Every structure is written in structure tokens, then in C-alpha cells.
Structure 1
Amino acid sequence: MVDLPDLALPDDPKLAQNIVHFARALRRAGLPAGPGRVIDAIRAVHAAGFTRRNDFYWTLHACFVSKPEERLVFAQLFRLYWRDPQYLEQMMSLLSPMVRGAQDERLAQAAEKRAAQALLDDQLPDLPATEQTGEETEVEIDASRTISTTERLRSLDFEQMSTAEMAAAQRMLAKLRLPVPPIHSRRTQPLPGHLPDWRGTMRTAMRRGGEVTDFATRRRRLRYPNLVVLCDISGSMSQYSRAVLHFLHSVANREGQGWAQVHAFTFGTRLTNITRHLRTRDVDAALAAAGAEAQDWEGGTRIAACLHAFNRDWSRRVMGQGAVVLLITDGLDRDSDANLGREMERLKLSARQVIWLNPLLRWDGFTPKARGIIQMLPHCTSFRAGHNIASLEGLTQALAHPDDGGQKVRLMAMMGQEGA
């Protein structure tokens, strides 16, 4: 453990108020720093004292940190709040690409941007005042191209984006939502509805001497499906896969979208389960851990073998009843001996919907000529493009309208004409 330097006690500390503001920053960064933990932290600091920075750090750490993935965010916020000026300058440079100097020294580590945004997002610097008149300097911002830039990013291919454009696209993907409508279960519950409840009616009548004065009704229970994502990370799909995984991280960690559970798998030459990594709140740490777990990144493609491994080992565990499968691949299978159509059919029989996102649909002249695409296409419920932000936004329509097959009908007609 690295020993931290002593922390000098200021003349007017207002320590309790500072701990409250620090807890608010932790809460904005995703830590469950509620009022109870704030009270415990104030009492703990009062009992432990406020003499050494190292003791103060671990006292607050014991009160606010409850999971391993929260340690890094807490460490960055503590350093930023209880204040290291050089570190503050570096964090401001990471948030604003117009600030140079500290930004050029190093890249942001995992959780640093998240900590800086939680603490500095609502603390804008004061505008400079003129020395002669004391009036505030008027700053004019040209926002005429803001909408056009956003629309351009929505329609720009992920593979054609620069580093700065990809960073902006990732911020847009983090704000996207993927709500799912609930499923009406066969099970019912005794609430006012349209289904007659004969047993309830008779029980009520027996309590009243056998006289039927009212009819009880029931309604079907509502349940939400699982989302199962199978993402191709082969060489031809690596750029698209990174963008899609950013989108899936926001879906897996944002509440109120309706999914019962979100399961994610990557495949290239083998199948890898990265579900637990996507549950990490920090997106940089989550994708770094997922990339380390998937050893076949930017390798070959064996779609049939990976689907067979999923159907054999994971289908009964994660699919449940009415699961929605999101398949992201170009369909270019390198294994010519495997029966890809059979594995896709088995996957379709276990799922409520199989939505296939294929970045090759970005080409206007795309035709289903590859053997893998011909075998997979009949067994998906919806076939859509997946090469930009706008195509990912269209997933909401595919979920709300299960009968909308996207480009499947047109391509199946082309396959029929070629076969004839």
C-alpha cells in the first residue's frame, strides 16, 4: 500500500459539508452513496480523526465502496476532490479537447473520465471580465453546424470514422435506449381485467350464502424477455463490434428499459461469454476486460461452430421463454464443412425473435450470394443493416413490430429468383 502524504487541516474545514458534496459526486459517478452512507462516513471520520490523508482515504473507502469495480472510481474521485491541482488540470484537459498540455502527456485510464465528468460536469468556469469596465465578456458560439454534424455522425459508417468521430459516436451510442414491450404471460393474476375468474366468483358467493352478486375477473401477467447478443469479432467485423459493444454496455447498465437480463457473447474462432464484463459500470474497464477475455479478436470466423457451442452449452441457461437474439455478423463463414443452416434453425426455435444486423447491407448492390448468408437468412425474423448509429436506432422499430422483417423479404425474393 502506497503511503499518502499528510493532509493538513484547514482553518475552517466544514468537513461534514465537504463529505456530503463528495458523496454527491460519487453518486453521479454510479456509486450507491445514499444518505445512510453519508451519515456513516461523517461519524467514521469523527471517530477516526482527520490527521493523515491515508487514514482519511481508507475511512471514506470503507463507507462508500462495496464492490471491487467501484474502487477505481472512488480513488480517482478522491484524488480529484481532496484536491490535487495537477490532477485536476489533467482531468479538465481530458474533458475538453481544446485544453492542451496535460492532455498530451498521457491517455485517460479507466474510470478517470467518468470521475471527472461526475465532479466537473456541472461546474463550468466563470467567464472572464474586462478590466476597464468590469462588464462580462460576451462569448458567441456558432451552433449552425451542430445539427448537421450530428446527422452526419448518425449516417456515417463506423469503419470510415476517424478517432475523434468514433469518440463522438460512442457518446451518442451511450445515450441510445432499447426499450422492449412486455410479453403477456399465460399465467393470470386476480386483478380487474377481461378474463372471467370463475373460482374467485364462486368463493365470493359462498361467503355470502351462495348468492352471486358480482363476477370476479383476472388479467394476464406481464413479463419481460431476455436479450441475448451474439457479436462477431473477426477481422472484417472488429470496428463494428467495438461500436456495438459500447451500445450494449449502455443497454445492460441502464434501468427502466424492460429487459429481464442482458447476456452478451462474442465469437470468431470460438465462443466467449462476456456478460459479467458488461455489467461493470465503467465502459472503458468493461470493454478492456471483454477484449482480454476474448482471445480471438480480429481473427478468423467459424460461425457454425460457435453457434453450435452456444446451442449446446448456453441456450437453455440464458434464452428463457420469449428471449430476443441480436446477431451481429457479416455471415461470411470460413468453415465450409459445417451445417450453418441447421444451427441457425435450432437457434430460431429457442428464441422469440432473431434480429440479424449485417454491415454488408450498407452497399446498395448487396445480394445474398455468400453460402453462409444463404443458409442463415431463412431462419432470422428480421434482417437489417448495422453499420452506423441510425441503423442501431432502428432496432427499436424491430422490437416493437416483430412482423417487420426489414430487408429479409426482398433478399429472400432475390434468392428465389436465382434458384429458379
Structure 2
Amino acid sequence: MKETVTRPPELSGLLHGFVLRLRTRLTHVSQAHARSYFAALETMPAPFTLLSIYWAGRFTLCARREDLLLYDECFREFFVGGVPSPTSGDNSALQRVTGLLASCGEDEAAEAEDRKETQALSANVMEVLRGSDFTTMSQAELSEVLRLIETLRFSYPLRQNRYRRSSHLGPLHAQRTVRAALEQHGEFIRLVRARADLRPRRCVLLIDVSGSMRGYAEPLLRFGYAMTNSMPRVAEVFSMGSRLARLTPLLGGQAPQVAMRAVTRSVVDWGGGTRLGSGLQGFLNTWGQRGMARGAVVIIASDGWESGGAELLAEQMARLRRLAYKVIWVNPHKSSEGYEPSTAGMKAALPYVDNFVGGASLAELVALGQTIGSVAGSEFKRKS
């Protein structure tokens, strides 16, 4: 939002008097012109000067060439005590205006210093909130952090295509070089180079919205919103509780408030029980086995509390591990001091997890986004 410059009441009254005087000379000046004049003054940087008042009125209150002479005469008469020339006559009005402008500049300078101090304080507060647990924040602090999560942008996880793309900067491609030589009767006239053809890799986020994840589900859903909008056609988001729900169509291409309201209406088991095994089984049967999980980076955000049996969860995790390229488990409690994965669900899932990370703060979610964007790229670099 653009900052507006606050004028002292005395200066505002003087400017209104000038506009009234001018309207007696220039009959075409209407209320709309006057509003444009004051709006132009609001956009000018502090401190106000007589020159800025003059040019703001000249640009907004004069419509014709012949208006300029009348405007100049009215300006000199009003601000220089009725004397046509600014070099003669009583300058008491000019001194009065100059004093008001100077005091206005001092007030604006003081306000500018206050704003700098407030901004510095806000930066320090945000640095503290960056590493704070979501459940320890006030509602105002959480709202600000949620807004920041919505604006996160991620790099695509990459996969290497089967074929390589021609490039003069890539390594030598032996087969294509020999084929080109055969076309030239066995003469190696040119060396063919090629580089890896990298394409976006699918990324799937499964969010536990059960009662045990209260306080963390909403930030993770905002993370899913940011992921869906920064990686369209690649990212998929699901909620898992007592049932499975696909949220991707609700999150993509919409304003954050609209998307969150749609998610709230769609997720009917918010804060209910947890059946991770059956939810993961439903995902694999309906979506994963058909291709969504094949070669994908799959992120499961849950604290590992399982009410449906750890055996089913272990079975489905093994099945997911055979399909997915990488499996990342996000547990908000992992960053807590003295945390141990003691729940039956976590013990069953961890053998099939590639990365076990935390997700209780903004900093950890930012790190998670970096992990998602770099995991496939790092694998490709190691192979090449």
C-alpha cells in the first residue's frame, strides 16, 4: 500500500482556500479537479515546498493554454499577499506558508525515523518467528507466517530422460559421432556432443489432517498451496485422516483465501482419527499404481500416530518405496528436544523413508522446499 503524506491542518486549510480562490477565476475547475489536486499532493515526497504546490495545481487544475496565465496570477495573489510580482509586496503569506511547510517536513522526518525503527523491529521479530514452532505463536504471528508460506516458490525436481539432447557444450556422444562419420564415408568430420535431457519430476504431498496434527496441518496445507502454484502440472496434494481427499484442483490457480475455504469445505474429517495405512493404500490403489507415484518424489507429512494397525502401514510403505523415486517423511515433532520415533506408525514407516525431516517452523518448511528441488538434481549429478 502506498504511504500517504499527512499535511498539518493549517496547511490543508490554506490549500483549500487557494482552490476556492482559483475557482472564482477558472470556472471549469470542479470538485473532481480539486480531488485530483489533493491526490497529487499526497503522492509527492515530504517535505512540501511552494514549488511542489505550484506544479501539482498546474498539472491538475489547468485545462487550456489560456488558463496558465490566470493560474499564475491567482497563485501569486494568494501566496504572496496580493502582489502580482513575487519580488515585491508583503511576503507575510509566503512566510506563513514556508513555516507550515517546514514544520510539515520535520513531522515527516520524525515519522520516517519511526517507520525505520518499526521495520527493523519487524525484521528482528520475523527472524525469531522463522525458527519458532507454529503451535507457540499468537494468532497474529501465525497469520503473518502463513502469508509468507503461501509466497514460497520451489525449483522443480528433475528426472533424466532416456535420450540425450544435442548440445555443443555437452560430452561426446559416441554413437551419434560414428553415425555421422558413416554418412561421410567413414570420415570423422565432426564430433557430435549431447547433454542429458532433464524434465520435471512429479511431486506428491500427503498431509495428515487428524487431531494429533492440530496446529501443523494448516501451515502444511499452505505449503501445499505454494507447491501447487509454483510447480503446476507436476505437484499433487492429498489430505489423509479417516479418508483420502485429492486437494490439487482446489489449491491450484486460486487466491489463498479462496483455496483454503474450498479445502475446509472439502476435508470433512479435519481433526478426526488417523488411518495412515488405509489412506496410503487408497492413494496407491487409485492414483499411485496408475502412474502418479511412479518415479515421483513423495512427501508424507504426519506425526506417525496410527489407529488402523502398523502392519498395514508397513506393507503400504514398502509398496510405495518400490514405486517412488524418493520418499520424504515430514514429522513436526522431529525438531523437538529429545524426540524419539517411538510410535508404532513411525517405527513401521522409517525403514522405507529416504529423508526424515522436521516441519514445525517456517525455516524447516523452507528447507523442505530446497530438499524437494535438489534431490533429483543431486542424484543426476552423482550419476553423471
Could you say which TM-score interval applies, normalised by the shorter chain? 0.5 to 0.7
**1:380 equivalent in alignment to 2:353:** yes
- Residue in structure 2 matched with residue 157 of structure 1 by the alignment: 133
In the alignment, which residue of structure 1 is the partner of 2:202? 226
Cα offsets for 1:172-210 (capped at 9, x unmatched): 21232322452222222233321425346434652x455
CA RMSD across the alignment: 2.4
For the Cα contact (< 8 Å) 2:205–2:237, is it kept in 1? yes
Equivalent pairs, count: 279
The aligned counterpart of 1:310 is 283
Retained in 2: the 8 A contact 1:229–1:265? yes
Deviations 1:365-403 (A, max 9, x none): 111221111101111111111111111011144332579
In the other structure, the counterpart of 1:288 is 261
> How far apart are residue 218 of structure 1 and its match?
2.4
Alignment match, 2:5: 126
- 1:206-225 equivalences under 5 Å are 206=183, 208-225=184-201
- For residue 394 of structure 1, give the secondary structure of its aligned residue in structure 2: helix
Moved more, 136-145 or 353-362: 136-145
Unaligned runs of 5+ in 1: 1-120, 405-420
Structure 1 stretch 180-189 or stretch 126-135: which is displaced more? Answer: 126-135
Q: 1:358 & 1:403 partners in 2: Cα distance?
A: 24
Closer/same/farther in 2, CA of residues 284 and 212 from structure 1, 3 Å limit: same
Work out whether residues 225 and 321 of structure 1, in 8 Å CA contact, stay in contact via their aligned partners in 2: no
CA shift for structure 1 position 340: 1.1
Contact 1:263 1:318 (8 Å CA) reproduced: no
Provide the residue aligned with 1:327 in structure 2.
300
1:389-400 paired onto structure 2 within 5 Å = 389-399=362-372, 400=374
Which runs of 4 or more aligned residues in structure 1 lie more than 4 Å from their structure 2 counterparts after TM superposition?
A: 401-404
Q: Does 1:248 align with 2:221?
A: no
**Separation in structure 2 between the aligned mates of residue 260 and residue 270 of structure 1, nearest angstrom:** 24
Partner Cα separation in structure 2 for residue 313 and residue 284 of structure 1: 29
2:173 paired residue number? 196
Question: Within 2, Cα distance between the matches of 1:268 and 1:345?
Answer: 20
Distance 1:295 1:200 in 2: 60
TM-score normalised by the chain length of structure 2 = 0.67
Residues 1:147 and 2:123 are matched in the alignment:
yes
* CA deviation after TM superposition for structure 1 residue 284, in Å: 1.0
TM-score, normalised to structure 1, is: 0.61
Alignment-mate amino acid for residue 358 of structure 2: A
The answer as to whether partners of 1:234 and 1:267 remain within 8 angstroms in 2 is: yes
Residue deviations 1:110-160 (CA, integer Å, cap 9, x gap): xxxxxxxxxxx3x33233346351233321222342232012211221122
Q: Which has the larger radius of gyration?
A: 2
The equivalent of 1:185 in structure 2 is 161
Mapped partners of 1:315, 1:350: distance in 2: 8
| 1:267 and 2:146 correspond | no
One-letter amino acid of the structure 1 residue matched with residue 100 of structure 2: T
Q: Find the aligned partners of 2:377 and 2:253 in 1 and give their Cα distance.
A: 34
**Equivalence for 2:274:** 301
Task: Report the Cα distance in structure 1 between the residues aligned to 2:190 and 2:335, rounded to whole angstroms.
Answer: 60
Q: CA deviation at 1:260?
A: 5.1
- Greater share of helix: 2
Structure 2 Cα separation of the partners of residues 265 and 391 of structure 1: 20
Unaligned runs of 5+ in 2: 12-98, 379-384
**For the Cα contact (< 8 Å) 1:226–1:318, is it kept in 2?**
no
Cα 1:156–1:199 change in 2 (3 A) is: closer
The separation in 1 between residues aligned to 2:243 and 2:5, in whole angstroms, is: 54
Q: What SS class does the counterpart of residue 147 from structure 2 fall into?
A: helix
